[in-house]
Structure 1
Amino acid sequence: MSVQTCQVLSMDASQQAAFMRFFNSMPEKSACTVRIFNRNEYYTLHGADASLAAKEIFKSTSSVKHMTCGQNQLEYVILNQNHYEALLRTLLLNKTYRVEVYCSPNNSSNNWTIEYKASPGNLYQFEDLLFNTKSELQSGIAAIKISGDGKSKIVGVGFVESSNSKMRVAQFPDLDNLSNMECVIQQLAPRELLVSSGMDDKDISAIKQFAEHCGMLVTTRPKNTFKSDDAFVQDMGRLLRLKPGQSDNVAALPEMKLTTATQALSACINFLELVSDNGNFKQFEISEYSSELFVRIDVQTVRAINLKPGVGTSGLGKPHESIVGLLGQAVCTPHGQRLLLKWLQQPLRNIAPLQERLDCVEALNSDLAAMDSLSKDYLKGIPDLQYLARKIHRKKANLQDLYRIYQGVRRLSGVVSLLEGLSNSEKVLSSVKALLLEPLKEKNADMANYVEMVEQTLDIDLASQGEFLIRQEFDDNLKEIQSRRSELKEEMESALFSASRELDLEANKSMKLEYTAQHGFFYRITLKDEKILRGNKKFTIIDTNKAGIRFTNQKLRGLNENYQEASDEYQKTQQEIVQGVVDVAATYSDTINALGDVLATIDVLNSFAVAASSSSEPYCRPLLHPPGSGVLKFKQLRHPCLERQNGVDYVANDAVFDQEKERLVILTGPNMGGKSTYIRSVAAAVVMAQLGAFVPAAEAALSLVDSVLVRIGAGDSMALGVSTFMAEMLETSTILKAATNRSLVVIDELGRGTSTYDGFGLAWAISENIAKDVGCFCLFATHFHELTALAHQVPGVVNRHVVAKTSEGVLTLMYRIKDGPCDQSFGLHVAQMTEFPEQVLQRAAEKQKQLELLHKWVPSEFLTQEDEDKKKGEEMVEEFLENVKALDLDDPEVLCRKLEELQQKISSSDNDFLKTLVDSFVPMQSS
């Protein structure tokens, strides 16, 4: 089906005119929907879709052409099958687009109907195409239903993940800004969100903004699809596979009592059309989802500490780009990638499973050879078992799928031996045994009969060469056809020797007979022997690549055609047998899916171990304490991603907290001094620890937290009409409402979006509230040096600063964290580094001095002569005002004389503060 991209449409003028009329009459679509037209031998896109496809696939618009009807034109671009598949993967897996594929009987120009449709959350119709290559993304879909209004909102979330036949429902009260909803959706991480057309516009806008930050597509569905009536209960009865002990009465399940949530779930089922496919019946499990099991991490936190790569990034990204890229650098399997993303969205709050994960990482990390072999020799060759299990269950599998599973299972004994060979303490190895080894051995034993079945039915030797056939012993007709194939194969071997003699090459060494599913049999020689074929008309070159030159001749071509005909006949004859084998294999689908889960866990934990050992400085195992025990301590902590960047010589720092004495740290210091990196590194290390990973520090101990809430840098939200400052206040308000005394709060540069006094007042009140009322661990980076006074008034507040030195006007950033507040501002030094005009810097220095003398508060340990002058000057001003207040107003002459004396006393003072104050009134007097 391959065609040149420059090929023009095989349509005459009248056909083009008819299609243009049809295209222009189509209903208007959203910009997020792409329409593709299947023309049998190729595909076309038109209008804005054509430009989009040209940019995504060909990286330019030069392939866009035009069809014409009178004065009207319509852009189009042509895609071959490979381009079509690549575009689908880009739109559905990496972007947030919907796709509609149209077809027409006999390729008529005016009778097009939708053949396939898909969206990021509904990939069912494109599963075989999208997932025949390595895929790491989940395709879950969630619907949101909101009942009530204002402060009494109840949010229901329904979630369906077709790839593993899971349904989740969650129902909870929420605030007006839907912060709890964001938390739940962030943890579930669907690819698409469904909202009701009857939902409040403000709520829809908030959901769309959140979804945009997360790279999710929002789809509006009719209001009447959000319902939990008798028909919904009947549908659930068809779809659910009840667990042992569950009531046969679906309506009696506790999950079905969550009315708002089940209404949302109904919308998911309707959108995915699950009931229309009998293969979905009795396959789904339902459970209530509780966000309380996991650490609360909102979208701001994900962005602020680079938990995931940016929206649109394919795969997990690179180690220096995000924490998931770092921890997933050695993940080898698609189910491993999916599990890592799930863990990242759902850090644990339970110490027991975290200790098990850490034990496994420790055991693997202590055996570098086993860790490396696990990745390269075993896991790397295992296919996506969860996808294949789903395909087998739907009876859509073929012999190649069965063989791929067989190949993966054959590797398990090696994985078992490797895990059994790990050495460590008895406690650590008991976790390896419970979490990894025993489940793997159990599933391996369960698959023994599957392996035997494949070996008895499938021709393993041919399968290893890319041909997937039932063993000939199963049927006399198969024997006869296979005999013919063998004879033809022998003739082709003989033809190889004849051709090699003709070309003066050695058969099976310089010249080989090879096979691929696409070309069948052909000859291959190396590139250095290319001159032998030049001008030789007896041979036809098929293609040339780095592996060599593939070619054929008339003799081999005829034999290959006969061989392919015999193979096609073999395929037809074996169809009934194949179906029976697939039916038997389908009984193993649950086991295969569970095996994928176990291998995913091994894959992720092994990648954690690789991340810990591959850093220039080793990671340490964090010592975990129960929630609320008041411990947070990192020695020589580093930022996990920044230290991986080329040319970065990272300076490690301690981060030590104590619930009673040092729970809120006010961090001051110059811009670019490392404040933001330092506070991000603390948040990142806490999340890594509660994933079950080692952390980039020499020593680490922490009490498990219930949430990591970060506010670093806010931007305008034009969609909601929200300014930078308003966005900052909304995020901080959410933090104050969500944080508990078991949380970690990280705030950077709060209050810069308003006046200095407003900003300082807010920063003071917020930090004071966190220190006094919330009582959680908090890092508060600020340029308000006056805020350091809080440490003198509120127990548990301490000052720390990043070290910087100045010498002859040159600023040197040390990137070290020390106790105490910063004793000066370095803003002018930073401006000087950017080569500001000298006169601007001088004037800025003058105004800075005046303002600091007027308004500066300095801790007692940093009092200077200027501060002493200010204090004395303020006392003299206060005395002056008291004397003026006491003057006798009835005698004007005495009043004037006394005022002159008081004024003279002020003017003759050598106090610098008073002089600056008096000078500031001169312009007012002259005016």
Structure 2
Amino acid sequence: MPQKTKHTPMMQQYFEIKAQYPDAFLFYRLGDFYEMFYEDAEKVSQLLELTLTSRNKNAEDPIPMCGVPHHSAANYIDILVEKGYKVAICEQVEDPKTTKGMVKREVVQLVTPGTALGKQESDAKQNNFLTAIVYDDETKNYGFSYTDLSTGEISVATLSDDETVQNECSALRTKEIVIGSDLPEDLLSWFEAQSIVQSKQKIGDVEAEFSYLMEKVSDSLAKQSIQTLLSYLSDTQKRQLSHLQQAQVYEPSHFLKMDYYSKYNLELTQSIRSKDKKGTLLWLLDETQTAMGGRLLKQWIDRPLLKLSEIKERQEMVESLTQAYFERMDLKDYLRHVYDLERLAGRVAFGTVNGRDLLQLKQSLEQIPMIQSIIQGLDSGQFGTLLEKLTPMDDLVGVIRESINEEAPLSITEGNVIKDGYNDELDTYRDAMKNGKQWLAEMEAKERQATGIKTLKIKFNRVFGYFIEVTKSNIQDVPADRYERKQTLANAERYITPELKEMETLILESQEKSQDLEYRLFLEVRETVKESIGRLQSLAKSVATLDILQGFADISETYQYVRPEMTTNQSVIQIENGRHPVVEKVLGSQEYVPNSIEMDKDTMILLITGPNMSGKSTYMRQLALTVIMAQIGCFVPAESAVIPIFDQIFTRIGASDDLISGQSTFMVEMMEANQALRYATPNSLILFDELGRGTATYDGMALAQAIIEYIHEYVGAKTLFSTHYHEITTLEDELKGVSNRHVGAVEENGEVVFLHKMMEGPADKSYGIHVAKLAGLPENLLHRASDLLENFESQAVHTTDVTEIVVEKENKQVDDVGQLSLFGEETSESSEVVNEIKNLNLLGVTPLEALNILSELQKKVQ
């Protein structure tokens, strides 16, 4: 960037401010525009598709420049922030009319991906979390805190490893990390790979007004993370943050744990294919009527409960609501009229609330007495805690009802925000303006009659005030003794009279004083509302919780879900005719084939075989989603269900490459499997789908069997393990806790029909070619595959027979010199063949390679 000394005082001011915000685009206020210069202008013009111009065009080195109108800047800022950039908003902080020389400018707010306030309808049910992290190199622990600036909620935890930090960031979908100390390079690289913006912030002392936010936090590392978070908010937002709530300490281990891979595989809140909400568990369960309910529901899904008492408390309320259809319909209707209380409270604290926002707040609060009445009518103890916090705020409703005009405009500085009759002084000014306008209308009629000029008009504009306008053709009729010329136009002349001038002064003073007074009155109302922010936030949580529960009741009734019996006895899972809730919603209950899942104390692992497309993955996901639904307090898709409370769910379902870090599908498979094998407990649930397919057949088969054995001997978790390796179904006879299941299929006239029904025992064949036929592969290709399969299977049998002969004779040691004769005759060739067989690495070759080796061995002994 060019040296400051070469530029005007204004550009020098620009450089000084820009130097304070090197990692942000500086929106520099000039009149009615925000301007950008140099690199900022060049990049922003591309990102926003703006015209790039230049300042001092005739100079040797013109300055690249682009700008946006200040009244529409918010939309442009939102676009830039959504793309991962920061925007520093620089305003004039002095009145140009009263300032000599350069007008003082300052950055009044730094908007970042983690501090952007979602204002669009699509953002209403989504949190935007800003996360702060500090690291202790000695203990290797992390202080981890996060907030949604729009709602004021703050949560904090002490985390023990990189993986937990990554899981938390993934669950929060955090867009920005505030780093308060040096972090391990691997973690920083992970943030970069996830396109998370990293912002540095020194850990400073928290201002006295924020000290109460940390009252519940005792851990020093957790406190440091909150200090980092609050310091960053204070430095970037430069405004009151009175809506921030006390930090809530949480422990990930207090909730059902699911790592990033498991949440991704199960499509809890984001579809793998479309990356949006449709087709997910959140999509199914979201029957919430409020934005706050929608946001809280996602948090529930991310953090299912572990305490039986808390789960039962939710179940009781859901059951009560399912049994009260008409009351529930009324409740839903009232909830529809409740706006986002959390974000309205945030706007009050920020000072960005307007008259219409307060009217929305009033309308929302007017619903609370009716909602409270419905719950009181239902309650027989189930809603006790919730009902205590569901308190009407009639005092606040009264203040807004008395003060705010029902037709209030968006602007709070141009009048018509405050109701008539609210303030006597304001009414006086309004009367003066109203009478003045009536007086002007009467004066216009009088002057037309006195002058005979029928086209004479009394007009107003902001530059010249009030004036009498006469067309040029009527100038000769203007009374020169009373009319004083004010302005000449091409087709008319404008005049003023002493009488009009006096009334102009009265009207304009009344208008100006009226607007100033209205603004002050509005601020007084806003301050009154601000005093109730804490009550509003508490009420909002209760309404959001009730909203989720009515949604659960609605879904449970619609899809005929049942209340599961939750137990801490991990030995039994009994789900009768369970369904995959999302698939059922898509297909319809008539087409969906239900399946039971039964695992008693003697069954630890279900080994599931069957063809692709038959429903193995759906069956496994069905169990996981049913468990999650049960542990968030919802009813479940089944005829009956007994479900233990699981502490963790691990999944490996579907194939995916991690292209960012250059990891293959097989490597991702092994990493996900490793997570389960390392961290699962006897209280965990493991779902492994087709492990080992990404490597050679024997490699994969060996790994699959070894993993099953390891889970059986060392982990003890309830496990569903699907596989194409029919050979390992013999484990049912070898391991006490393994039981075979298969997906039924019927073959008729060469055609296969999948029954999508889970049955006991192993599958008898894989039906791979039949699946290929369903996929539409060419007919001649399918015939060739069938011939090859028959050939491979027959030769594989022969290979097995020969190997058994060799092994048997070797074990008996029938040859005195240590050489074996395969066909009853000792030769040097047979000795060579035996040695080759001994040295073969059968687990390292494919079936086709094994056949080729066998063919070569056969030639040697013929």
Bin for the TM-score computed over the shorter chain: 0.7 to 0.9
Relative distance call for 1:838 and 1:206 in structure 2 (3 A) is same
Matching residue of 2:552: 608
Q: How far did residue 307 of structure 1 move?
A: 0.7
What aligned pairs does 1:15-26 form with structure 2 within 5 A after superposition?
none
Aligned twin of 1:593: 537
Distance (whole Å) between structure 2 residues aligned to residue 881 and residue 335 of structure 1: 74
Q: Please tell me whether the aligned partners of residues 637 and 652 of structure 1 are also in contact (alpha carbons under 8 angstroms).
A: no
- Note closer, same or farther for the CA distance 1:190–1:256 as it changes in structure 2 (3 Å cut): farther
Residues 1:96 and 1:735: Cα distance change in structure 2 (over 3 Å): farther
Q: Is the 8 A contact 1:715 1:727 kept in 2?
A: yes
Match in the other structure for 1:279: 240
Query: Contact 2:243–2:349 at 8 Å: present in 1 too?
Result: no
Please list every run of 5 or more consecutive structure 1 residues that lacks an aligned counterpart in the other structure: 1-14, 55-62, 243-249, 423-427, 495-561, 856-865, 904-914
d(CA) in 2 for partners of 1:78 and 1:406?
38
CA distance in 1, matches of 2:705, 2:280: 32
Name the structure 2 match of 1:365.
Answer: 322
Identity within the alignment, %: 25
- Mapped to 2, the partners of 1:43 and 1:660 lie a distance apart of 69
Matched letter for residue 769 of structure 1: Y
Residue of structure 2 in register with 1:325 after alignment: 283
Contact 1:764 1:787 in 2 (8 A): yes
Partner of 1:434: 384
Query: Aligned partners of 1:89, 1:487: CA distance in 2, in Å?
Result: 45
Is 2:113–2:197's contact at 8 Å kept on the other side of the alignment? no
Q: 1:53 aligns with which of 42, 48, 55?
A: 48
TM-score when normalising by structure 1: 0.70
AA aligned opposite 1:255: V
Amino acid at match of 1:920: S
Report if aligned partners of 2:85, 2:112 keep a CA contact under 8 Å in 1. yes
Verify: 1:727 aligned to 2:668, yes or no: yes
User: Cα distance 1:801–1:41, how it changes in 2: closer, same or farther (>3 A)?
Assistant: farther
Q: 2:115 aligned to 122, 143, 147, which one? A: 122
CA distance in 1, matches of 2:86, 2:76: 12
Distance (Å, rounded) in 2 between the aligned partners of 1:343 and 1:804:
38
Q: Deviations over 1:124-161 (max 9, x none)?
A: xxx4x837997222233222334448xx7323323344
1:275-301: CA deviations, max 9, x gaps? 985734796523432112211022112
CA-to-aligned-CA distance 1:813-852 (integer Å, 9 cap, x gap): 2211111111112222222334445565455445544554
Distance 1:116 1:618, change over 3 A: same
Note if contact 2:108-2:238 (Cα within 8 Å) is conserved in structure 1. Answer: no
Shift of 1:73: 12
Residue 205 of structure 1 is matched in structure 2 by: 189
User: What residue identity is the alignment partner of 2:178?
Assistant: L
Measured at CA, do residues 618 and 34 of structure 1 come closer, stay the same or move farther in structure 2, by a change above 3 Å?
farther
Residue pairs, 1:313-462, within 5 angstroms: 317-318=277-278, 321-328=279-286, 330-375=287-332, 377-393=333-349, 397-422=353-378, 429-431=380-382, 433-440=383-390, 443-444=391-392, 447-458=393-404
Question: Paired residue for 1:741?
Answer: 682
1:920 equivalent to 2:862? Answer no
Which residue in 1 is equivalent to 2:164?
Answer: 180
Match of residue 140 from structure 2: 153
The residue aligned with 2:267 is 306
For residues 486-507 of structure 1, what are the alpha-carbon distances to aligned partners after superposition, in whole Å with 9 as ceiling and x for unaligned? 7799999x9xxxxxxxxxxxxx
Q: Following superposition of structure 1 onto structure 2, how do residues 811-826 of structure 1 map, counting pairs within 5 Å? A: 811-826=752-767
Say which SS state the counterpart of residue 319 (structure 2) adopts.
Answer: helix
Q: Is the 8 A contact 2:595 2:757 kept in 1?
A: no
Match of 1:511 in 2: none
**2:769 paired residue number:** 828
Distance 1:192 1:200, change over 3 A: same
Pick the aligned partner of 1:774 from 683, 692, 715: 715
Q: Does 1:622 align with 2:564?
A: yes
Q: Distance in 1 between matches of 2:749 and 2:62?
A: 69
Letter in 1 for 2:744: V
Q: Distance in 2 between matches of 1:581 and 1:207?
A: 44
Which residue matches 1:696? 637
Describe the superposition over 1:717-764 as per-residue Cα deviations: whole angstroms up to 9, x where unpaired.
344343332222222211212211111111112112222222222211
| Gap change, CA 1:901 and 1:572, over 3 Å in 2 | closer
- Map 1:216-255; keep pairs closer than 5 Å: 217-221=196-200, 225=202, 227=203, 231-232=204-205, 235=206, 237-241=208-212, 255=217
Q: How far 1:670 sits from its partner (Å)?
A: 0.9
Q: For the residues of structure 1 that align with 2:321 and 2:511, how far apart are their CA atoms?
A: 47
Change in Cα spacing, 1:815 to 1:88, as seen in structure 2 (3 Å) is farther
Residues 368-394 of structure 1: CA distance to partner in whole angstroms, max 9, x if unpaired? 33333323x311222221222233345
Which deviations, in whole Å up to 9, do the C-alpha atoms of 1:517-565 show, x marking residues without a partner?
xxxxxxxxxxxxxxxxxxxxxxxxxxxxxxxxxxxxxxxxxxxxx9999
Secondary structure of the 2:158 match is strand
How far apart are the structure 1 equivalents of 2:44 and 2:859?
Answer: 66
CA contact (8 A) 1:67 1:75 kept: yes
| 1:240 shift after superposition | 2.1
Residues 421-453 of structure 1 deviation map (CA, whole Å, 9 limit, x = unaligned): 44xxxxx7421x31443431xx21xx2222333
Superposed CA RMSD in Å reads: 4.9
How far 1:884 moved relative to its partner?
Answer: 9.8
| Cα deviation digits, residues 603-625 of structure 1 (max 9, x gap) | 111222232234xx422222211
CA-to-aligned-CA distance 1:894-914 (integer Å, 9 cap, x gap):
9968899999xxxxxxxxxxx
Q: Are 1:135 and 2:83 matched, yes or no?
A: no
Post-superposition offset of 1:668 = 1.2
Q: Partners of 1:262 and 1:312 in 2: how far apart?
A: 40
Alpha carbons 2:47, 2:80 under 8 Å: kept: no
Residue matched to 1:481: 429
> Is the alpha carbon distance of 1:236 and 1:878 closer, same or farther for their aligned partners in structure 2, counting shifts above 3 Å?
same
**AA in 1 matched with 2:127:** Q
Alpha-carbon shift at residue 41 of structure 1 (Å): 4.7
Amino acid at match of 2:771: V
* Aligned residue identity for 1:141: L
Following superposition of structure 1 onto structure 2, how do residues 669-680 of structure 1 map, counting pairs within 5 Å? 669-680=610-621
Secondary structure of the 1:241 match is: helix
Deviations 1:79-135 (A, max 9, x none): 66786544544555x6655444567999x9xx9986643223223xxx4x8379972
User: Relative to 1, partners in 2 of residues 1:682 and 1:813: Cα closer, same or farther, differing over 3 Å?
Assistant: same
**Equivalent residues of 1:240, 1:281 under 8 A apart:** no
Q: Which has the larger radius of gyration?
A: 2
Contact 1:186 1:297 in 2 (8 A): no
Deviation sequence 1:28-58 (CA, Å, 0-9, x none): 999x97776766556688545445435xxxx
Residue of structure 1 in register with 2:157 after alignment: 170
* Structure 2 letter corresponding to 1:622: P
CA separation in 1, counterparts of 2:739 and 2:66? 64
**1:572 correspondence with 2:516:** yes
- Which structure 2 segments of 5+ residues have no match? 1-6, 443-505, 833-849
With over 3 angstroms needed to count, the CA separation of the structure-2 counterparts of 1:872 and 1:802, relative to structure 1, is: same
Cα 1:240/1:485, change in 2 over 3 Å: same
| Equivalent residue letter for 1:158 | S
1:103 and 1:112 in contact (8 A); partners too: yes
Taking structure 1 as reference, are residues 764 and 104 closer, same or farther at Cα in structure 2, changes over 3 Å only?
farther
* 2:468 paired residue number: none
Distance 2:586 2:110 in 1: 42
Q: What amino acid is aligned across from residue 378 of structure 1 in structure 2?
A: Y
User: Aligned partners of 1:196, 1:646: CA distance in 2, in Å?
Assistant: 49
Q: CA distance change for structure 1 residues 132 and 644 in 2, over 3 Å: closer, same or farther?
A: closer
